[in-house]
Copies of this chain bind each other. A is one copy, B any other.
Amino acid sequence: MNLKELATKLGLSPTTVSRALNGYPEVNEATRERVMAAAKRHNYRPNTRAIRLATGRALAVGHVIPLATRHEIVNPIFADFIAGAGETYSRNGYDMILSVVPDESEEQAYRDLKSRGSADGVILHAPRMNDSRIPLLHEIGIPFVVHGRATGTDLPYSWVDVNNRRAFQRATEFLLDLGHLRIGLVNGLEFMDFAIRRRTGYVDALAARGLSPDPALMASDEMTEISGYRAASAMLDLPAPPTAFLVASMISGMGVRRAIEERGLRMGRDISVIIHDDDLSYMKNGDDVPIFTATRSSVRDAGRIAADLLLGIIANPGHGPEHRLLEAELIIGQSTGPAPRPHAPEKA
């Protein structure tokens, strides 16, 4: 059932039927209702392909996922972000198209999205420092929103980000207030923008108390269980081990916990741990009482917001870049406690 058939059945022209269905004013209300009813009765759905061609809009948003040798993007955080963004898209009649491409053809993927007209805009994931994709998207001339920020770029762009610096600064202060002086940082890869900001927050908080960061207490790697385990193990085996850890994700946090418990120590009593919690749907940080003390910010919400921004920009290309800085909450769980009393040299 297409428009023409429906029009014939109604004894109207396609023009009128199209206008009636799309809410244009120059159609008699009685006619409109008749058309609407017939459309529903015959279960008419306009063909998306035709609409796209006729209107010159793709009605779709692209997400490009490079498949690197190091699979950083296809990760749990990504899945939840997508879920959030997807909600917004389908509510607004947009499709979400995912392009999974080999690392080296990422640039071409963006160009194709534009020149072949299959997306009206894109979301840029996992920005790095001086990310070359931002100038690229500017050059291509396609609306985009960045999930995160890219230090080093002077071009304007829209973004949604968590205040990573502040979150890690607060977490560090919290640990310092508990008396912890040696705090291990188990960070993400530090060519990623968010990881740099987190480290900055950590370093700043230390500096504010007159402490200088110990390179031996700062690790940076992918956020996997294994790498969390390794980083924490190495630090715990130092002559002067940390009494607390600041960890970039829930998953690395599990590795850190394993390293702690493997040494017969107890998390929350002997060693404190704060993680960053993206509030993933299938990786809840406890139900009632959080297991980990955490800086929490829902990445799914970030997805929703990023999608909203992007659709806004697509509908209204004139608008200048927009930003949303989300604050993470610091939630207190069972993994933190006062620093253990230092072994005072026993005096006779």
Which A residues fall within an 8 A CB radius of B?
43, 45-50, 52-53, 56, 58, 60, 65, 67, 71-72, 74-76, 78-80, 82-83, 85-87, 89-90, 95-101, 109, 112, 115-118, 222-226, 251, 254, 257-258, 261-262, 281-284, 286-287, 291
Residues of B within 8 A of A284 (CB): 224, 226
| Measured CA separation A36–B112 after assembly (Å) | 18
Residues of B within 8 A of A53 (CB): 47, 49-50, 52-53
Neighbouring B residues of A80 by C-beta, 8 Å = 74
Q: Which residues of B contact A96 (CB under 8 A)?
A: 97-100
| A116-B261 in contact (CB<8A) | no
Q: Which residue in B101, B117, B257 is a CB contact (below 8 Å) of A90?
A: B101
Q: Pick the residue among B52, B95, B261 that contacts A97 (CB under 8 A).
A: B95
A257–B130 Cα distance when bound, in Å, is 41
Q: Is there an interface contact between B83 and A79, defined as CB atoms closer than 8 Å? A: no
Contacting residues, chain B, for A118 (C-beta < 8 A): 48-49, 95
B46 touches A65 (CB 8 A): no
A283 to B250, CA, bound (A): 12
Residues of the B chain whose Cβ atoms lie less than 8 Å from the Cβ of A89: 100
Minimum CB–CB distance from A43 to chain B (whole Å) comes to 7
A53 and B117 alpha carbons, distance in the complex (Å):
13
A145 CB, min distance to chain B CBs, angstroms = 17
Residues of B within 8 A of A225 (CB): 254, 283
Taking CB as reference atom, which chain B residue is nearest A96?
A: B98
Selected A-B contacts with CB under 8 Å, 27 pairs: A47-B117, A48-B116, A48-B118, A49-B52, A49-B53, A49-B56, A52-B53, A65-B83, A71-B83, A74-B282, A75-B79, A78-B79, A82-B98, A82-B100, A85-B100, A86-B98, A86-B100, A87-B100, A95-B118, A96-B99, A96-B100, A97-B97, A98-B98, A223-B282, A226-B287, A251-B282, A258-B261
B224 A282 Cβ-Cβ under 8 A: yes
Cβ distance A92 to chain B, nearest Cβ, rounded Å: 12
Q: In the complex, A117 Cα to B44 Cα: how many Å?
A: 12
Chain B residue at minimum C-beta to C-beta distance from A229: B291
Give the distance in Å from the alpha carbon of A141 to the alpha carbon of B335 in the complex. 53
Contact A75 B282 (CB under 8 A): yes
A251: B residues at CB distance < 8 A: 282-283
B67 touching A87 by the CB < 8 A rule?
A: yes
Please report the C-alpha to C-alpha distance between residue A43 and residue B117 in the assembled complex, in whole angstroms: 14
Measured between beta carbons, the chain B residues less than 8 angstroms from A286 are 226
- What B residues does A281 contact at CB under 8 A? 71, 74-75
